[in-house]
A and B are shown apart, each in its own frame.
Chain A
Amino acid sequence: MTSAPTPPTGWAAMLARASFIELDARARATALLDAGTARELCGPFDRIESPWLEPQGVVPASDDGVVVVKGELGGRPAVVIGIEQAFQGGGIGEVSGVKIATALSLAARDSRDGTPTVAVLLLETGGVRLQEANLGLATVAEVCSALLELRALQPVIGVIAGALGCFGGMSIAAGLCTRLIMTAESRLGLDGPEVIESEAGVAEFDASDHTLIWAVDGGTQRTRTGLADTLVLDDVAAIRSAVLEATAGGVPAEHRSRRIGELRARLEAVDPGDPPEPAALAAVWARKPPPGDVR
């Protein structure tokens, strides 16, 4: 499951790399696809904006912060869906959510009709866009449903590169992905540190403690503990090759979110009143070998 727990960190690799994190969503999506194949759908010039932001005094975006790019990955039909973290904290609203859900459904339709189409999700999001509240929540459910529809037919690869990370309802979508790729800079969690601190107090989670945040939510920890599959260097070529490798793996016999027996064993291995330090969790879970799904 954990194919590369340690990314290359030698100085030569660090100097030679082209940062993926520094790219915006459109450039990220294009960079992953085979050269010359990228074609954006429902782009900014279609001007389908959120109808809910302007009445609240919030400036909308002509792409609503989600970029859908169709093309090829290693010569196979693919769609890359990128969430732009610079717009409304990557929050999912009505338009952006339906863009993601529809793109996944269309890829599933093509896959059923003889054109297998893989999907890559670039997940930099705080979750539901609270300015669209209930419609954001509803579309996140629709994204999960469409993701599951495609996942049964073709791989859906999640990439969390950073800097924002993947939180809120969209972290559930991350958990549903066929495979999940993260960098050491990225984070994954349901409730972000600030939200936990404001709901439960600083003793529960100190949102100013960055060491704690990355120890719990960081890509290195998530990969070590099997909640993500591949840890990669923040480098365009490294991330593209990890995505190609993940899509080549095809559809697994059993997805992570179906391994309920493993989830049970993991929860039973930890006393919630006295949990291990984050650094010790991987070892605790490794001592409890997955019993195989009893169902």
Chain B
Amino acid sequence: MSRGQSWTQALADGGVRAAVPSVITADAALDGDAARLIAVVPDPRSPYHRAREGEVGLREGLALAEAVTEVVTEDTPLAREARRPIVAVVDLPSQAYGRVEELLGLHDALAAAVDAYARARTAGHPVITFVVGTALSGGLLAHGLQANQIVALDDPGVVIHAMHKEAAARVTLRTVAELDELARRIPPLSYDVADWAKLGLCDELLRVQNAGSPTGEDVRKAKDALAAAVGRARRGPRDLGNRLTSPGASQTRGASRRVREALTAQWR
């Protein structure tokens, strides 16, 4: 069972549903809130042969957009502060790299998912990303990076990055050893979740006993962390501004803040 599946199942109060075999949803009680969990999981029998290992492909982009939109539509009559939290449980190798994906417009399917998550966030749904495994590239853009809050497990199996190591080395004309050496000095290049957590994107790094197959105590701990994230999301901004004002960002994103100040001052 993939990490995404086991965490979704462990956190769920009630059954786990499959919108399509590769996108599962469930509900979880988080401190009085009924949060909707959404995860992309492997489907070895997917007709899309490049999206069988949990990649975010065409079918997954569409199913994510539908699952998020369903919650937004159902909660539209509710007051903003009563709208349900949405938790993206993230464990995905990447987007799907394939010919039929490009032919039919994978960018368009992922744009639908990004749009849906951002729409939920601006409508007042606390959108929480919970990274339990790998979270790479376009897959993470579609399922994870539009969240108000990002919580990640502090575990060697958690890898958050723009591209997997071998490909990133190839594209930047380096060896993997050179990339590893640079990553020790340059935090955004690192594949280590502790370095990623310093970039200002991480709202909590959570240590558990068994990241692959959570114990009862792990689940309690994760639910507490997610409930706390929901509270922070409700109190915080509905855009992604907190990523530039977080304690981590004050250390690492000085250039971002300089750009924002200069551009704002010159804008008229």
Q: Contact partner of B186 among A55, A70, A144, CB < 8 A? A: A55
Establish whether residues B101 and A141, one from each chain, have CB atoms under 8 Å apart when the complex forms.
no
> CA A190 – CA B145 in complex, angstroms?
17
Chain B residues with CB under 8 A of A260: 62, 65-66, 69, 112, 116
Contact (A130, B108) CB under 8 Å given A41-B266, A48-B255: no
Establish whether residues B145 and A266, one from each chain, have CB atoms under 8 Å apart when the complex forms.
no
> CA A103 – CA B267 in complex, angstroms?
9
Chain A residues with CB under 8 A of B160: 134
Q: Kindly specify which of B7-15, B82-90, B135-143, B209-217 makes contact with the partner chain.
A: B135-143
Q: Kindly specify which of B23-31, B161-169, B223-231 makes contact with the partner chain.
A: B161-169
In the assembled complex, A82 has its CB within 8 A of some CB on chain B: no
Q: Kindly specify which of A7-15, A24-32, A195-203, A236-244 makes contact with the partner chain.
A: A195-203
Nearest CB in chain B to that of A213: its residue: B102
In the assembled complex, B256 has its CB within 8 A of some CB on chain A: yes
Q: 14 A-B Cβ contacts within 8 A?
A: A55-B182, A70-B267, A94-B188, A128-B162, A138-B199, A169-B137, A190-B107, A205-B102, A256-B108, A260-B66, A263-B109, A267-B104, A275-B104, A281-B103
In the assembled complex, B243 has its CB within 8 A of some CB on chain A: yes
Establish whether residues B114 and A144, one from each chain, have CB atoms under 8 Å apart when the complex forms.
yes
| Chain A nearest Cβ from B109, distance in angstroms | 6
Spell out A's residues near B (CB within 8 Å): 41-42, 46, 48-52, 55-56, 68, 70, 94-95, 98-99, 102-103, 105-106, 110, 128, 130-142, 144-146, 148-149, 168-169, 171-176, 188-191, 195-196, 198-200, 204-205, 216-217, 222, 225, 227, 255-258, 260, 263-264, 266-267, 270-273, 275, 278, 281, 295
Determine the main DSSP class of B at the interface with A: helix
Chain B residues with CB under 8 A of A174: 107, 111
Establish whether residues A278 and B243, one from each chain, have CB atoms under 8 Å apart when the complex forms.
no
Q: Contact partner of A257 among B108, B185, B196, B255, CB < 8 A? A: B108
Establish whether residues B103 and A216, one from each chain, have CB atoms under 8 Å apart when the complex forms.
yes
In the assembled complex, B201 has its CB within 8 A of some CB on chain A: yes
Chain A residues with CB under 8 A of B188: 52, 94, 132-136
Beta-carbon contacts under 8 Å, B174-210 to A: 182, 185-190, 196, 199, 201
Establish whether residues B256 and A172, one from each chain, have CB atoms under 8 Å apart when the complex forms.
no
Chain A residues with CB under 8 A of B114: 141, 144, 148, 172, 176, 257
Nearest CB in chain A to that of B48: its residue: A272
> CA A105 – CA B107 in complex, angstroms?
23
Chain B residues with CB under 8 A of A204: 50, 97-99
| Chain B nearest Cβ from A33, distance in angstroms | 15
Contact (A264, B62) CB under 8 Å given A103-B263, A196-B102: yes
Q: Contact partner of B262 among A42, A50, A145, A258, CB < 8 A? A: A42
Q: Contact partner of B145 among A52, A103, A137, CB < 8 A? A: A137
Chain A residues with CB under 8 A of B70: 295
In the assembled complex, B254 has its CB within 8 A of some CB on chain A: yes
Establish whether residues A133 and B163, one from each chain, have CB atoms under 8 Å apart when the complex forms.
yes
> CA A266 – CA B146 in complex, angstroms?
25
Contact (A135, B253) CB under 8 Å given A46-B262, A272-B47, A272-B48: yes
Contact (A205, B99) CB under 8 Å given A130-B168, A140-B141: yes
In the assembled complex, B110 has its CB within 8 A of some CB on chain A: yes
Chain A residues with CB under 8 A of B156: none
Establish whether residues B263 and A99, one from each chain, have CB atoms under 8 Å apart when the complex forms.
yes
In the assembled complex, B115 has its CB within 8 A of some CB on chain A: yes
| Chain B nearest Cβ from A252, distance in angstroms | 13
| Chain B nearest Cβ from A157, distance in angstroms | 15
Nearest CB in chain B to that of A110: its residue: B267
Query: 9 tightest A-B contacts by CB?
Result: A175-B111, A141-B145, A171-B107, A257-B115, A135-B188, A199-B97, A190-B106, A133-B162, A190-B107
Establish whether residues B264 and A102, one from each chain, have CB atoms under 8 Å apart when the complex forms.
yes
Chain A residues with CB under 8 A of B138: 168-169, 172, 190-191
Q: Digit string of B130-156 for contact with A (CB within 8 Å is 1, else 0)?
A: 000000011011100110000000000
Chain B residues with CB under 8 A of A168: 138
> CA A233 – CA B161 in complex, angstroms?
38
> CA A148 – CA B145 in complex, angstroms?
14
Contact (A130, B162) CB under 8 Å given A137-B141, A169-B138, A190-B106: yes
Contact (A149, B239) CB under 8 Å given A52-B188, A225-B105, A272-B48: yes
> CA A245 – CA B234 in complex, angstroms?
40
> CA A198 – CA B98 in complex, angstroms?
11
Given contacts A98-B260, A131-B172, A275-B103, 8 further A-B contacts (CB under 8 A): A99-B263, A106-B267, A169-B138, A172-B111, A176-B111, A176-B115, A195-B97, A199-B97
| Chain B nearest Cβ from A130, distance in angstroms | 5
> CA A41 – CA B259 in complex, angstroms?
10
Establish whether residues B199 and A145, one from each chain, have CB atoms under 8 Å apart when the complex forms.
no
Beta-carbon contacts under 8 Å, B60-74 to A: 62, 65-66, 69-70, 73
